[in-house]
A and B are shown apart, each in its own frame.
Chain A
Amino acid sequence: MRIEGKGLVEGRTPISFTFDGTRYQGFEGDTLASALLANGVRMVGRSFKYHRPRGVMTAGSEEPNALVTLGFGAAQEPNMRATTVELREGLWARSQNRWPTLGFDLLAVNDLAAPFLGAGFYYKTFMWPRRFWERVYEPLIRRAAGLGALSGAPDEDRYERAFAHCDLLVIGAGPTGLMAALSAAKAGADVILADEDVAPGGRLLAETIEVDGISGAAWAREMAAELAALPNVRVMTRTAITGAYDQGTYAALETRADALARRPGAACGTFWRIVARRSILAAGALERPIAFANNDRPGVMMAGAVRAYLNRWGVAPGQSVVVFGNNDSAHRTAADLDEAGVHVAALVDSRHYATCDLDVPFYPGAEVCDTQGRRALESVTIRSAKGEERLRADCLAVSGGWNPSVHLACHMNPRPVWNADLLAFLPPENALPGMVAAGAAAGDFSTRACLQGGARAGQEAARDLGFKGGELAVPMAEDAPCDIFPLWQVPGRGRAWLDFQNDVTVKDVQQAAHENFRSVEHMKRYTTQGMAPDQGKNSNVAALAVLADATGRGIPETGTTTFRPPYVPVPIAAIGAGGSGKGFAPERLTPSHDETRQRGAPMIEAGLWYRPGYFPRDKETHWRQSCDREVNMVRGAVGVCDVTTLGKIDVQGPDAGAFLDFVYTNMMSTLAVGRVRYGLMLREDGHVMDDGTCARLGAQHYLLTTTTAAAGQVMRHLEFVHQALRPDLDVRLASVTEAWAQFAVAGPKSRELVNGLLDAPVGDATFPYMACGAVRLGGINARLFRISFSGEHAYEIAVPARYGAALFSELVARAEAMDGGAYGMEALNVLRIEKGFITHAEIHGRTTAFDIGMQRMISAKKDCIGKAAAARPGLVEEGREQLVALKPVGAVKELLAGAHLFNAGDPATSAHDQGYVTSTCFSPTLGHVIGLGFLKAGRARIGERVRMVDHLRGSDTLCEVLDPIQFDKDGGRLRG
């Protein structure tokens, strides 16, 4: 019901919206909750476990009851708090956790079974038979209990991520935050002022309090305007600070007003990482309920929330209101309601000494002990010294005191400190480096104290950062002392709710204590108190007070559970914004990418790089046809392959040779200028890290190549060795991978193809196997390497990357004219397996130079990284798994990478494991399947037969053990 003349939404644009299929009207500036209350909708949801009718309880993000689902389809958003959902034209909301309808919910039978559904009921009840848990009980419970559901479709909401930096982050824009931000900003600090509400003001928007002689809301508006005009202040509304992390980093979720979010290209929300040198926690306080029988009916609300709906939105949540509390918040609510002409049926104050000069029925020293009503509150039972009395009421406003919002101060683990005068937990001193709490969050509950505390905190933070000034005159405002008398629960029959969202009652907590779950953390897990989307914002303190009582301890000894981020629910879509699909990782594209795609080649990901699998031609319907043709092409004519992706590292300087001797197992300082050598690098632990080539381009200039996958790792390793182990060596490193486009030209006709392009042709005498040097090609400075990964006479030709696309097209066109063409990763793999060349399938991190048969490459003449560790007896035992080739010799002709090897007579169990297969292919050259693998004492077992068994894919193949090099063992073709 709207009250004429009240609220800040009066005169605004009307908006129509739908809740559970019914159309309603509200105003711009309404929340879904205020609009529903204005329309007299009191039941908005069903509770988690018992499916009890529930209504709006609060006016903020702590709302435990009024959870709704917004929207349809992929963008469906469950568990949105109606109290923070901004009303917008066409808003479409649904209640949750009810079937078939909110009014008639079949699962409400759970409420009748309540005596059996207490704390830990499923731990006790569904233990037997054990296998039923996963298949029967859990799905059943999950269906019956729970809140909203996701759509199951990928979320298409367009969230984004961003970073912000400031000197001072002020968390909360109430009177404290506004003063803090202005004072620090005036001193010159860069300030971010963040608040989850749509406008600055905090409680001032919800109260009739005056500041500086004007209404609190008007004062807040003026302050906000003044701040917005300052260049060093950023006011972020609709922005909840959700977590505090190391080194002054804060997470924040900004939601966007609908009109902005709908603009083309706009994001619907931003997940911020804010880095601040200092922060002020001005997050205010949350009013807490009191536990009494049936305190969960729709119509039972927080006293402060009733004021908020009345003063901010002009809505009276009821026509006859009972107000109940143990502090002055109840009196303030009664006064505001009375002033607005709403009938106050009773003001019930548990403080026996309380007085009241309002013209309302006043019950000092009394308590509300029960409520009645079917789908909503109808009457309230009051117990006083005179006995029990029942009063008609459709709204009960409750205040059990205020809990300072200490959450962020405790995100790095410190626990809040109990203050017995305020009956509240306060943020501990120095809880978070650089953070101070001020205002209600620090236990200052009067407006004047908040204004003062904010101004002081802002000025001190600025001063601490080296700024001067920032003194502000603190405006006048009410300065009432905090007067509160402990009241956590009202004794009586019937269930008294503590955690409304998770349906946890006083009895559940007592039961937990009775069953010896006495630690607050155990109680939480046993009862699920504090676990729902509200994370116990409403219930934690009262629940632990009940636990303290049940265990005979004090509240400070009982303590709180751990506060963890996020402060409010954050969609995973916001945290992972931009990371779905290809946004997950950058793509690295080769110079030949466009031409490769035009030729229809499917891509294989190698690290971040995209490389062609094969180049299909007409009439080829299976990848093997293309692959076999490409292998035959290289063996018989010439093939071209983009190898730009291999890492290239410039190593230069007077000590370059000495440096390389230290990182490679073999000697590089003796390499002649114009020559290339194969090299092996070990890790410190003696296992192989990477292999590649090392070309000496000049007296002080080496160029290393690495494998595609390990390029970054090798660069990092070399930098570490240089900076940390050998800073004495005068050597400099630079990655030049991207500067050069490089192509392998392989096959008997490779020289003919290369010479067709070079300005000056090369021959065996001038350019033998393992030669390298500068060449010119179409007037461009290029580099030529006579190296081979295929076993054929081959070159790699490098040009500045800008010419890469053109050169690839040219090379392929010329190769095709010579019965050759482009080849992809599949053929490249076959060619190298035939030759027994290794990749990271073999040097996978657990193999040594000994294992791959390269132990002689560890030079005896010098030390190198990993040499000592590689010499450990266990790493050079003859019984180790050693690199061999395999071919099928039985009826089954299949070899599978990842399969394990067993002796022919042994059972295929891990106890009899003899090794494993790393790489396999069909070799068109040899006419059968071959594979590489590691076999115990393999080098001594050439010619033996072993079983390859793949338990996962159900394959069992009899194999012959072969020498790893199956093609051109003497290397005649390389040199040819």
Chain B
Amino acid sequence: MVDLKPKTPCAGLVPLRVGPLSLLEDAPGHMTAIAPYLGQDAALSEALKAAHGMAAPGVGRMSGTRGARALWFGQRMILLIGPAPDAGLVKFAALSDQSDGWAVLRLEGQGAGDVLARMTPLDLRPTQFKRGHTARSDCAHMPASITRLGEDAFQIMVFRSMAATLVHELKIAMGRVVALQ
């Protein structure tokens, strides 16, 4: 039987450390795009809560805790991150496996927000974009999902194929920010 070795999207590119900033790859077990069918949003939220312990997140929000999170991922779409989706969810929503489709990076450390200010037009002021807030936006000309995980910690997701460009751009921006610290 053939033995295929898996490779993460950012293998060989991270971890990166520049001054107090670090860029790490998160490799969640599963990622599933969940898109509720007509009129099933509430039922889906109930089912999510029952199966995975979190309600469906509102627009621009993330629900759940570390290890099992639900991320608002676009118009009436949720990304379940962590667990394999409960089989019962297909009654309420279309499920698409995205486990391998996105590079998931975590940018942490003092000045992380300043780094992202060089990458994305999003308003990331702590008063406007709090922990658990998420947005789909542009990140260095790449379609991205950006989420605040903590005071100085963000999750950045881009298409798997763009991981190298994202890491390259982030590395430059991290250097720029650290140089001014």
**A residues within 8 Å of B by Cβ?**
160-165, 190, 260, 263-267, 273, 275, 578, 583, 585-591, 608-609, 644, 650, 652-654, 723, 730, 732-734, 736-741, 757, 759, 777-780, 799-807, 810
| Interface positions of B from 50 to 83, Cβ below 8 Å from A | 75, 77
Pick from B38, B102, B169 the residue with the most CB of A within 10 Å.
B38
Q: Name the CB-closest residue of B to A262.
A: B179
24 A-B residue pairs with Cβ-Cβ distance under 8 Å, sorted by A, are: A190-B125, A263-B180, A267-B176, A273-B121, A275-B123, A586-B141, A586-B142, A586-B162, A588-B159, A588-B162, A609-B161, A652-B35, A653-B37, A732-B93, A734-B94, A736-B98, A736-B101, A738-B159, A739-B98, A800-B100, A801-B100, A802-B100, A804-B7, A806-B4
CB atoms of A739 and B35 under 8 A apart: no
Rounded to whole angstroms, the CA-CA distance of A733 and B77 in the bound complex is 10
Q: Name the CB-closest residue of A to B174.
A: A265
CB atoms of B165 and A587 under 8 A apart: yes
Checking A165, A265, A777, A805 against B179 with a beta-carbon cut-off of 8 angstroms, the contacting residue is A265
CB atoms of B37 and A730 under 8 A apart: yes
Checking A273, A590, A778 against B161 with a beta-carbon cut-off of 8 angstroms, the contacting residue is A590
Q: Name the CB-closest residue of B to A778.
A: B2
Chain A residue numbers with a CB within 8 Å of B161 are 588-590, 609, 644, 738
Rounded to whole angstroms, the CA-CA distance of A740 and B128 in the bound complex is 36
Proximity string of chain B (104-126) to chain A, C-beta cutoff 8 Å, 1 when within and 0 when not: 00000000000001101111110
Say how far B72's CB is from chain A's closest CB, in angstroms. Answer: 15
CB atoms of B180 and A585 under 8 A apart: no
CB atoms of A652 and B94 under 8 A apart: yes
Pick from A590, A734, A741 the residue with the most CB of B within 10 Å.
A734
Chain B residue numbers with a CB within 8 Å of A590 are 161
Chain B residue numbers with a CB within 8 Å of A805 are 7
Chain B residue numbers with a CB within 8 Å of A190 are 125, 127
Chain B interfacial residues counted at CB < 8 A: 55
Chain A residue numbers with a CB within 8 Å of B172 are 265, 578
Beyond A586-B141, A739-B101, A800-B100, whether A650 also contacts B94 by CB under 8 A is: yes
CB atoms of A732 and B179 under 8 A apart: no
CB atoms of B4 and A264 under 8 A apart: no
CB atoms of B37 and A265 under 8 A apart: no
If A275-B123, A736-B98, A799-B4 are given as contacts, then 4 extra A-B residue pairs at C-beta distance below 8 Å, sorted by A number, are: A273-B121, A609-B161, A739-B98, A802-B8
Chain B residue numbers with a CB within 8 Å of A654 are 37
Say how far A401's CB is from chain B's closest CB, in angstroms. Answer: 41
CB atoms of B96 and A736 under 8 A apart: yes
Say how far B157's CB is from chain A's closest CB, in angstroms. Answer: 11
Q: Name the CB-closest residue of A to B98.
A: A739
Beyond A263-B179, A806-B4, A810-B4, whether A165 also contacts B96 by CB under 8 A is: no
Q: Does B149 contact A (CB under 8 A)?
A: no
Say how far A704's CB is from chain B's closest CB, in angstroms. Answer: 12
Q: Name the CB-closest residue of A to B159.
A: A738
Chain A residue numbers with a CB within 8 Å of B121 are 163, 273, 275
Beyond A585-B141, A588-B162, A805-B7, whether A160 also contacts B118 by CB under 8 A is: yes
Number of A-B contacts (CB under 8 A): 145
Q: Name the CB-closest residue of B to A803.
A: B4
Q: Name the CB-closest residue of A to B100.
A: A801
Q: Name the CB-closest residue of B to A814.
A: B2
CB atoms of A738 and B38 under 8 A apart: no
Chain B residue numbers with a CB within 8 Å of A736 are 96-98, 101
Q: Does B173 contact A (CB under 8 A)?
A: yes
CB atoms of B4 and A739 under 8 A apart: no
Chain A residue numbers with a CB within 8 Å of B165 are 586-587
Q: Does B140 contact A (CB under 8 A)?
A: yes
CB atoms of B176 and A266 under 8 A apart: yes
Beyond A161-B118, A190-B127, whether A739 also contacts B96 by CB under 8 A is: yes
Q: Does B175 contact A (CB under 8 A)?
A: yes
Q: Does B43 contact A (CB under 8 A)?
A: no
Say how far B181's CB is from chain A's closest CB, in angstroms. Answer: 10
User: Chain A: interface secondary structure?
Assistant: mixed
CB atoms of A801 and B160 under 8 A apart: yes
Q: Name the CB-closest residue of A to B124.
A: A165
Chain A residue numbers with a CB within 8 Å of B140 are 578, 586
Chain B residue numbers with a CB within 8 Å of A609 are 161
CB atoms of A260 and B180 under 8 A apart: yes
Say how far A174's CB is from chain B's closest CB, in angstroms. Answer: 26
Rounded to whole angstroms, the CA-CA distance of A590 and B118 in the bound complex is 27
Beyond A586-B142, A587-B164, whether A265 also contacts B176 by CB under 8 A is: yes
CB atoms of B102 and A734 under 8 A apart: no
CB atoms of B7 and A802 under 8 A apart: yes
Q: Does B89 contact A (CB under 8 A)?
A: no
Chain A residue numbers with a CB within 8 Å of B102 are 738
Chain B residue numbers with a CB within 8 Å of A578 are 140, 169, 172
Q: Name the CB-closest residue of B to A161.
A: B118
Rounded to whole angstroms, the CA-CA distance of A736 and B99 in the bound complex is 10
Chain A residue numbers with a CB within 8 Å of B125 are 165, 190
CB atoms of B162 and A587 under 8 A apart: yes
Chain A residue numbers with a CB within 8 Å of B160 are 738-739, 801
Say how far B105's CB is from chain A's closest CB, in angstroms. Answer: 14
Say how far A343's CB is from chain B's closest CB, in angstroms. Answer: 46
Chain A residue numbers with a CB within 8 Å of B120 are 163
Rounded to whole angstroms, the CA-CA distance of A779 and B1 in the bound complex is 8
Rounded to whole angstroms, the CA-CA distance of A802 and B33 in the bound complex is 18
CB atoms of B176 and A653 under 8 A apart: no
CB atoms of A778 and B3 under 8 A apart: yes
Q: Does B16 contact A (CB under 8 A)?
A: no
Chain A residue numbers with a CB within 8 Å of B178 are 265
Chain B residue numbers with a CB within 8 Å of A653 are 37, 94
Chain B residue numbers with a CB within 8 Å of A652 are 35, 94-96
Chain A residue numbers with a CB within 8 Å of B4 are 777-778, 780, 799, 803, 806-807, 810
Q: Name the CB-closest residue of B to A158.
A: B176
Q: Name the CB-closest residue of B to A703.
A: B96
Checking B6, B9, B97, B142 against A806 with a beta-carbon cut-off of 8 angstroms, the contacting residue is B6
Rounded to whole angstroms, the CA-CA distance of A260 and B181 in the bound complex is 10
Say how far B78's CB is from chain A's closest CB, in angstroms. Answer: 11
Say how far A788's CB is from chain B's closest CB, in angstroms. Answer: 23
Chain B residue numbers with a CB within 8 Å of A267 are 176, 179
| Interface positions of B from 4 to 62, Cβ below 8 Å from A | 4-9, 18, 33, 35-38
Chain A residue numbers with a CB within 8 Å of B117 are 162-164
Rounded to whole angstroms, the CA-CA distance of A275 and B5 in the bound complex is 47
Chain B residue numbers with a CB within 8 Å of A265 are 18, 172, 175-176, 178-179
Say how far A756's CB is from chain B's closest CB, in angstroms. Answer: 8
Checking B18, B100, B128, B164 against A738 with a beta-carbon cut-off of 8 angstroms, the contacting residue is B100
CB atoms of A740 and B100 under 8 A apart: yes
Pick from A162, A608, A777 the residue with the most CB of B within 10 Å.
A162
Say how far B87's CB is from chain A's closest CB, in angstroms. Answer: 14
Say how far B17's CB is from chain A's closest CB, in angstroms. Answer: 13
Say how far A228's CB is from chain B's closest CB, in angstroms. Answer: 15
Pick from B3, B7, B161 the residue with the most CB of A within 10 Å.
B161
Chain B residue numbers with a CB within 8 Å of A644 are 161
CB atoms of B94 and A732 under 8 A apart: yes
CB atoms of B99 and A739 under 8 A apart: yes
Rounded to whole angstroms, the CA-CA distance of A275 and B122 in the bound complex is 10
